[in-house]
Amino acid sequence: MSAGPMARTRFARREKSERPVVPGGFPLAGPRPAVDGGGAVPAHVALIMDGNGRWARARGLPPIAGHRAGAEAVRHSVTAAIEHGVQYLTLYAFSSENWRRPPREVGDLTSLLRFYLRHKLQELHEQGVRLRAIGELERFEPALREELERAEALTARNTRLTLTLALSYGGRAEIARAAMRLAELVRDGLLAPEQIDEERLAGQLSTDDIPDPDLVVRTSGECRLSNFLLWQSAYAELMFVDTLWPDFDAAAFGRVLADYARRERRFGGR
């Protein structure tokens, strides 16, 4: 499958980065966005939205019913994030491993995403939300990529909350792609191997224009990251809650923020 318009949009965004760009369009490392995530409210919250299927099965409903209820939980979390002053919210909406699910369920998921992009985008825009997407977007059908591209363009200047959807996303693959880009720079004589450091690798990740998450939350009681933001979560606070994702409402969002506020982040220091 060809890269398609969304892949070109992602490349264009990198070219417009404030970081220096070497020939070939690859930004070198530069300052990360300066955001204070050490206070009572995390600047960046990342959510692993797990439990839609179990929520539906417990009610004798098909999987799509759980995904629809989960989409409403997303709306609650976006509103709660804005009300609490969170600046960045990243959602693990569709992992690279989710392609292994039954084709009908994958189709239902992508159709639901396209529906919400088409019918709920204006609501996000009016809330001041900037929407962006990361992952192997070229794996999706053109109609969905076009909806994502339109959503990104419409909300590009919004500053109240940056909402990132991780779609067909895998942390290991993202790191491998970043390493490949650096290897290409070395091959082309644009970068010396000894110049490669953490900042330069981070500059090649799909999250290069937002700060690393301060808080990563997984719902449904599972206690693993499942290939989500592996590099970026090195110093994030981790929380695993028993609530199934469709039941994760504004009150639940507030509780995890209250738990975060009680933690002391030392980043290796005393």
Residue set of the binding site for substrate: 51-55, 67, 95-97, 99, 101, 218, 224-226
Q: How far is CA 59 from CA 52, 123, 236, 259, in A?
A: 11, 30, 34, 30
Query: Residue 228: CB partners within 8 Å, gap ≥ 6?
Result: 46, 48, 92, 95, 166, 169, 171, 216
The whole-angstrom separation of Cα 258 and Cα 145 is: 37
Q: Is 2 exposed, middle or buried (0-12, 13-18, 19+ CB in 10 A)?
A: exposed
- CB atoms under 10 Å from CB of 164, counted, come to 25
Strand-by-strand arrangement of the 237-240 sheet: 129-134, 161-169, 88-95, 44-48, 215-218, 237-240
Does residue 98 carry a catalytic annotation? yes
Q: Which residues are annotated as a binding site for Mg(2+)?
A: 50, 237
Residues facing residue 22 across a β-bridge: 26
Structure tokens at 257: 């923020």
Q: Which residues are annotated as a binding site?
A: 50-55, 67, 95-97, 99, 101, 218, 224-226, 237
- CB atoms under 10 Å from CB of 234, counted, come to 11
**Per annotation, catalytic residue among 98, 227, 247, 259:** 98
**Per annotation, catalytic residue among 50, 208, 212, 214:** 50
Does residue 50 carry a catalytic annotation? yes
The whole-angstrom separation of Cα 10 and Cα 12 is: 5
Helix (H, G, I), strand (E, B) or coil at 85: coil
The whole-angstrom separation of Cα 214 and Cα 86 is: 10
Helix (H, G, I), strand (E, B) or coil at 218: strand
* Enzyme catalytic residues: 50, 98
